[in-house]
Amino acid sequence: MIPYFVFRLLLFTHLALLLSACYGNGSHDKRPSPFNCGSLGRIHYPFTKAEEPECGLIAIHGCDNSSSDKTIELENGRTFLVTSILQQDGLNSSPQITNFDQVLHDRLQSNGSCEAFNNNITLPANSPLVSFDIKYNVTLYRCNHSLNVSPPTGFIKHLCPDYNIYHYSMLSTPNHTEVSSFSACSVIVLPKKDLPDTDDLQSFLTAQTVLDVRLSDDCDNCYNQDGGMCGLDSNNNFYCDKGAAEHKSMVLKLALGLGLALSIGVVVLLLLFVACCFIRKPSSFLWTKKHPTHQIIETFFKEHGPLSTRRYTYDEIEKATNYFKHKLGQGGYGSVYKGKLQDGSLIAVKLLSELKGTGEEFINEVASISRTSHVNIVSLLGFCFQGSKRALIYEFMPNGSLEKFIYEDNTNMVDRQLDCKTLYDIAIGVARGLEYLHRGCNTRILHFDIKPHNILLDEDFCPKISDFGLAKVCSRKESIVSLLGARGTAGYIAPEVFSRSFGGVSHKSDVYSYGMMVLEMVGGRRNINVEVDCSSEIYFPHWIYKRLELNQELELRCIKNDTDERVRKMSVVSLWCIQTNPLMRPEMRKLVEMVEGSLESLQIPPKPYLSSPPTSPAHYSTQTFILNVRPPSDFMKHTCPGYDLYYDSSILPSNHEQVPSSFSKCSVLQLPRKDLTDTKDLLSFLTAQMVIEVRLSDECDKCYNHMGGQCRLDRNRTFLCDKVAQRKRKVMKLGLGLALSIGVFVVLLFMACCFIRKLSTFPWTKKHPTHQIIEAFLKEHGPLSTRRHTYSELEKATNYFKHKLGQGGYGSVYKGKLQDGSLIAVKVLSELKGTCEEFINEVASISRTSHVNIVSLKGFCFQGSKRALIYEFMPNGSLEKFIYEDNTNMVDRQLDCKTLYDIAIGVARGLEYLHRGCNTRILHFDIKPHNILLDEDFCPKISDFGLAKVCSRKESIVSLLGARGTAGYIAPEVFSRSFGGVSHKSDVYSYGMMVLEMVGGRRNINVEVECSSEIYFPHWIYKRLELNHELGLRCIKNDTDKERMKKMTLVSLWCIQTDPSMRPAMSKVVEMLEVPPKPYLSSPPTSPAHYSTQTFM
């Protein structure tokens, strides 16, 4: 029991806390609360809903209706569609509104039309409260033909029927002093793209306008410092409504004094508590996390919630690495050390430097790899973020990186040389890993740094893609991505990453890097050798293309005999990958097929630009120009092989603002020179010592020197000023009283929580054997990628199991919604049915997967006898509802042949991932239409892993205690080992039976009719194929549908062969479905016609 005097102390302390909470923030009473505006997210003042104009300065229409467009009225009553609002907390930085002008868009879409130039953009007049600026705009000059305008240098002319349009070149810096020629012309301002890469007027104009919203200084001070709201009185004069803030200052002081006085009794105890915690974990306290990088990363963890990787403390990292004793290597962002976890597993710890990087590479790594699970992607076991300490914990790769094994200039090359077979397998493995990142993963991931150094090799030389510091996570529907600048390593960066004139940046950029890497694997040398003379012969792709073109032997180091065609195949494929045009490069799925296919089927690609590629964007062009240059009189000439250098010969340093016109066709280099030199010899006055002058921007200077703040950029690279001085004043007013009062409350709350949590560990709650088995499993497997929910959380999420979606063999499924708004399907397992095996199978299997065709297990519940599984919600339910003709609602739900075909391919890809792509091989054993769920786009997801078996990747045959699966889909060998061993081919059989049902619109076994061979649909369909009769299936509408259905039928008949060795692997099934029919895609041997009609008890 709490002593009476302690109770009184707490009572008065919390009264002070309430007073402080009520009045300590009194200056903010008049400010309106933030509000949700549909797709625009949560926004606040100066924005307001159109229905509440008195609560802000800029009204947004449609906020209360989530499905309606969000609009804003700007000019002359015209309405614009609002696509996004970028706004930080407070008003320290200007909010940005992105609008879409449908009228301008329609005019720009009419090719060559000049209608877009008939209107100017006019914004509302500036007021004492708020003003608007167009962030990206271009000034056009509209001149009648009769004016005969002579435009200055650098201006481009666009012809129209009645006038000409002039604008400055987008590819150069405008000189606004040269516009006097247009004094008689009309001026038009229109929005343009952020970074135009063309001078074509129709191409760089856009209907999307980015507006900067700026509050006046008076309004900013009123809102941020005085806690009031801005307004204009009847005479249009500014006023600030501060409400009752000024009258509450005395109450504020009284409340703070009371809070401090009543908290003095516990100060000593709290100081001792803080001191103990500080000694144990000094880096975990608030004052060590004020750095912007720390705040960004903490925000990231808060937004993304529980990840599949564990968060370690720095103490744990030190112990695991024996205080960083065994160093494995050094990278650009830090060092890598070998370590060992408590369970004995070896790890590689990448300790990021405290001084390098902004935190983006750390976030990229955790965000990217935590979304993946693939045999060719390195596993991120955990991470550490503690104050300024950042580390990434990977699985240990005994053979290190591929870089050590492929270059002939490596001194240890003799001992480490890899044969062609190993190099070939590594190339295929990396291709499969990239294919998974681009298409198989739930979110598309672009790596942007594929190179030998980032390919790690395990003990079996299985390749693992690593280092996702430059990766970009994007939507699967996003074909082209935006980058702020070039990223990657010189020699592997695709041309379009440097310059958008080559095309958009996409997953094809990784294909280019892969091709360059494979060429280095083939040649045993770097594609760029910076230590030799500047000539095209140092560029290895040029040499290898020449020999392939002339059909000459490659004569490479790893080729042991003339019959080994692997290296030649790798060379041809890599040359396809490094095509300059991204559209010419194959996708990774096609690459895998090309590498695994025959050499005869490969064609030599068109010749790309085959000169030495760039080491920086400035030198990208590989074309050669012969120029006759006449330099100015004060320039000197320095001759080099292949080119001449010209430089200013003046002794005193000079800074030419403009390049002389004589050098307009030349490249520009800037190198450091000595301060004062008495020689004109180029090599004598150049120096490797640079003096760099650092200047703060005007905004940052004002923020730091005048406002006492700190400058930083947010994740969108928008300038922010953290006003530390103002924050300190507020902390001084409220911090001490509130902190001490809350401290007492938190300590007691922590003790209460520990006591309640301890109750659940007492023996009487876990006596049942089933509970002990599951608890042991959860303890053994540690943190999983799925979250453990309480039963009360599930009750709230499902509104107490109100909306039932269906009933299964092991329980019922209900629809629900999590706190973040995402819809879920909750499968509540029956307390009376089953042991615990199906629950453990489900959690163990799906928590190891991440694939677009595998349903995501978002969480689970195990609380006493309550067991539940939480999946992502699938709006279209199961495939079973859509394929059977005896379904009463079939007319409304009938799927066309294209959709059925795509579903068949999607399920095949999912099974291929489970069998070969996942880190641990998973056999499903219950593939059937009921267990294939369909999302809103009818993308199939394999679900229900209750009968699944997790096994080693090297384990080809597995042992089962008994038959498992659903009658009609179970492979023969699962019933009787006389047919062969149980393996992944058992899932292939079930897949084939399911696809036959999709094709025929009927069940393969109809138990309600008389037992005869004619009721067995595979027998019927095989007979018609054998006699070359039409299949006569319901969904066929044209020849393309006919071809698809026939292909699905033939593939499925191969899958249901009685002999498992006759069935194709799922990778082969995907290939058979995706490519045009080949000779092997003929009718397979007949399997026993009556097999699946047997009933086993």
DSSP for residue 765:
G
pLDDT-derived band at 757 (thresholds 50, 70, 90) equals low
From the list 688, 648, 649, 643, the residue with the least C-alpha distance to 666 is 643
**Most confident segment among 273-277, 286-290, 331-335:** 331-335
Selected residue with higher pLDDT from 878 and 616 = 878
Contact 677, 651 (CB under 8 A): yes
- Any idea which residues carry the catalytic annotation? 449
Q: Are 405-631 and 875-1097 in the same CATH fold?
A: yes
* CATH of range 875-1097; options 1.10.510.10, 3.10.20.600, 3.30.70.580, 1.20.58.390: 1.10.510.10
Would you identify the CATH topology of the domain 783-873?
Answer: Phosphorylase Kinase; domain 1 (3.30.200)
Burial bucket for residue 283 (CB in 10 Å: 0-12, 13-18, 19+):
middle
pLDDT for 963-994, tens place per residue? 788 888 999 998 888 888 899 999 999 999 99
Give pLDDT, residue 991.
96
pLDDT, average across residues 399-404? 90
CA-closest candidate to residue 794, choices 766, 774, 813? 813
pLDDT at 464 > cutoff 90? yes
Burial of 82: CB neighbours in 10 Å, binned 0-12, 13-18, 19+ = buried
Residues 615, 528 contacting (CB under 8 angstroms): yes
Angle (CA) 420-425-431 rounded to 5° is: 125
3-state secondary structure of 901: helix
Please enumerate in sequence order all residues whose Cβ is within 8 A of that of 1043, keeping only pairs 6 or more positions apart, or say none: 1077
Out of 441-450, 785-794, 981-990, 998-1007, which region has the weakest mean confidence (pLDDT)?
998-1007
Q: Is the pLDDT of residue 4 over 50?
A: no
- Please, what is the average pLDDT of the chain? 75
47-49 and 58-60 beta bridge pairing: parallel
> Is the CB of residue 638 less than 8 Å from the CB of residue 669?
no
- What is the model's pLDDT at position 94? 75
Query: Is the per-residue pLDDT at 500 higher than 80?
Result: no
d(CA 214, CA 220): 9
d(CA 952, CA 983): 12
The b/e string for 981-1005 (b: 16+ C-beta within 10 A; e otherwise) is ebbbbbbbbbbbbbbbbbbbbbbbb
- Answer yes or no: is 356 a known binding residue: no
What residues contact residue 501 under an 8 Å CB cut-off, 6+ apart?
A: 197, 198
3-state secondary structure at position 888: coil
The tokens for 180 are: 């006097």
For 1013-1051, how does the pLDDT look when each residue is reduced to its tens digit (9 = 90+)?
445 667 777 777 776 766 666 677 788 888 898 899 999
Residue 677 or residue 533, greater confidence: 677
Q: What is the CA radius of gyration of the chain?
A: 35
Among 46-60, 143-157, 736-750, which stretch is predicted with the lowest mean pLDDT? 736-750
CA–CA separation, 554 vs 576, rounded Å?
17
CB 111 within 8 A of CB 202: yes
CB-side neighbour CA atoms (13 Å) of 74: 22
What integer is the mean pLDDT of 479-499? 81
The yes-or-no verdict on residue 834 having pLDDT over 80 is: no
At 159-202, the pLDDT tens digits run 888 888 888 887 666 666 677 788 888 888 888 887 776 777 77
pLDDT at site 507? 92
* Highest averaged pLDDT of the listed ranges 279-288, 467-476, 619-628, 933-942: 933-942
The answer on whether 350 is annotated among ligand-binding residues is yes
pLDDT of residue 19: 47
Q: Is the pLDDT of residue 923 over 70?
A: yes
Given this model, what pLDDT does residue 576 score? 92
Question: Which CATH code fits 405-631?
Answer: 1.10.510.10
**585 in Cβ contact with 502 (< 8 Å):** no
CA-CA distance, 95 to 1043, in Å (whole number)? 55
**What average pLDDT does range 576-605 have in this prediction?**
87
- Look at 272-281, 356-365, 369-378, 628-637 and tell me which has the smallest mean pLDDT: 272-281
Tell me the DSSP string of 122-174: --PPP-SSEEEEESSEEEEEEEEGGG---PPTTEEEEE-SSEEEEEE-TTS--
Mean pLDDT of the region 568-583: 90
Q: Per residue in 201-221, pLDDT tens?
A: 777 888 888 888 888 888 888
Helix (H) or strand (E) holding 42: strand 42-43
pLDDT 10s digits, 871-920: 889 999 999 988 887 665 554 567 889 999 999 999 999 999 999 888 88
Question: What backbone torsions phi and psi does residue 705 show, to the nearest 5 degrees?
Answer: -85, -30
Domain segments of the chain as ranges: 35-241, 405-631, 783-873, 875-1097
Least confident of 426-430, 497-501, 741-745: 741-745
State residue 737's pLDDT score.
63
Give me the pLDDT at residue 192, please: 84
- pLDDT above 90: percentage of residues in the chain: 18
* Tokens coding 535: 């000539």
pLDDT score, position 766: 47
For residue 307, the one-letter residue type is: L
Give the model's pLDDT for residue 1056. Answer: 92
What's the pLDDT band for 31 if we cut at 50, 70, 90?
A: low
Pairwise pLDDT comparison (11 vs 75), residue with the higher score:
75
Mean pLDDT of all residues in 645-674 = 63
Which pLDDT tens digit goes with each residue over 404-449?
888 876 655 545 678 888 999 999 999 999 999 998 888 888 989 9
